[in-house]
A and B are shown apart, each in its own frame.
Chain A
Amino acid sequence: MSNKARSSQLDFLNGDEAVAYGAKLCRPHVVAVYPITPQTIVVERIAEFVANNLMTCEYIHVESEHSAMCAAMGASLVGARAFTATSSQGLAYMHEMLHYVSGSRFPIVMMNANRTLAAPWNIFGDQRDSLAQRDTGWIQVYVENGQEALDMIIQAYAVAEDDRVYTPVMVNLDGFVNTHTFELVAIPEQKDVDEFLPPFKSKNAIDFNHPRSFCMTAATEWNMEFRYQQQEAMNQAKEVIAEVDRRFGDKFGRYYGGLVEEVRCQDAEVVLIGMGSVAGTSRVVVDKLRDKGWKVGLLKLRFYRPFPIEYFKGLSPKVKAVGIIDRDISFGYEGALASDIKAALTSASAPPKVINFIAGIAGRDITKENIEEMYNKLFNLTQGKEEKELQFIGLRW
């Protein structure tokens, strides 16, 4: 696209505010939300936009997260663009409706502030909430900073509403580390976003002249065909995500790499893989170790579903050891990312050795020292030393 974005205003925003601006620029017809820490600022800012006539939408105060998703679904049913946001317990509470929305193919976009699940009660960040929603049929993307958060809300609608996809998208921000951290964020011009993201024209909308039955029973003879349809849409989404990222980059000058972003992975012998804010910390460590001559790389896994299996199948045989950082754990096995990535790596030409690092649970910092420790352990593996396959990093004892 030759018509590049004219300009953008720089503002000092936290991640939640960046999401609110992103949502505003997408001109949703309906925003149905229920506040929950650490997502609340998103809801508050959008309410302010609406109250100050900076945003025209139906802002629905619902009584629960379950209702928030129901309201968004009703809006999408009549062809409206719908937005909502939640976190943790709220996401768990709307679990049932996540299936309804994806199964009915409503391209809703939702922001989720990643926060741990009770018990023990805690409001701080890890990714157990959204990873537990793996099989709800939602596209899941994890962002590293406020700018990516704003940009991905816009990209999320472009992906979700694509004819080949029609699948809802969840944009995940690490609780507090992303949601409450301030940084300079470029806010694109409305006109440019309008050019990038045209009004939603649902090909499945109902109105008085076109009555339709929705969410109806599909009996045993037909149900599996709808599931196949969802899987095909997810496969198609991989291509669409890459296309939308290129188109967004051409317009706004920021490219994110699609499903994954490689950071100094060329010729790397040891690669760490992580999702969300941990990528930001790891970049600094990679640069430091590279300066010392260590062949280290970082793979920022951006999309969890659809999963970039092709990337891992084609992993360079130069990579001898891979570390997978999970801000979650599937009790009784290992981290969720580790299971998926290890399974995909079995198809690689020279499968590397793997350590799964469980870290950053319930808001515990993942420090630069922690990351360096992980790289050290991976180099131990390449030198034939023993390392446990699953390790808790930063554990008190």
Chain B
Amino acid sequence: MAKPKIVKFHYPESLAEMPLGPSAAAGILTEPNAGWRVQRPVMDRAKCSKCLLCWVLCPEGVIDKESEELAIDLNYCKGCGLCAHECPKEAITMVGEGE
């Protein structure tokens, strides 16, 4: 998946290492953000026609289309179910977390 990787953030260890005001290089992901998800999307690749509607509609941009088959970045999927609701092939189903 061509998604930003979670990296370890180097916190300042002294006053000299503090940034000038509250700022930092953009695009640093320090932890997953999916703890509030109660259902996760599961994709049936046999049904998927790669129309990319889910890729267009996903509000979090977690659908990855860089590989041969579509993939979902569950580190940042909030489980809204929009992809499953809109998929014309009904290739995505929402499954309860823990099931």
Contacts and interface: CB of A to CB of B under 8 A. Distances in A.
Interface of A: 103-106, 166, 203-204, 210-218, 225-226, 228-229, 232
A104 B24 CA distance: 12
B20 A215 contact: no
A204 B24 contact: no
Interface in B4-19: 12, 15, 18
30 contacts: A103-B21, A103-B22, A104-B22, A105-B20, A105-B21, A166-B21, A203-B20, A204-B21, A204-B23, A211-B26, A211-B27, A212-B23, A212-B24, A212-B26, A213-B23, A213-B24, A213-B25, A213-B26, A214-B22, A215-B22, A215-B23, A216-B23, A217-B22, A218-B22, A226-B18, A226-B21, A226-B22, A228-B15, A229-B15, A229-B21
A215 B22 CA distance: 6
A104 B21 contact: yes
Contacts of A217: 22
Contacts of B23: 104, 204, 212-216
Contacts, number: 48
A138 to B, nearest CB: 14
A116 to B, nearest CB: 33
Nearest to A226: B22
Given A211-B27, A229-B15, A216 B22 contact: yes
A106 B12 CA distance: 21
Nearest to B21: A105
Interface residues of B, number: 11
Contacts of A228: 15
Nearest to A215: B22
Contact of B25 (A166, A203, A211, A232): A211
Contacts of B24: 212-213, 216
B27 to A, nearest CB: 7
Given A225-B12, A226-B18, 6 more contacts: A104-B23, A105-B20, A204-B23, A212-B23, A213-B23, A216-B24
Nearest to A229: B18
B25 A225 contact: no
Given A212-B25, A213-B26, A225 B18 contact: yes
Contacts of A215: 22-23
A135 B97 CA distance: 49
B87 to A, nearest CB: 33
Contacts of A226: 18, 21-22
A166 B18 CA distance: 14
A225 B23 CA distance: 13
Interface in B32-81: none
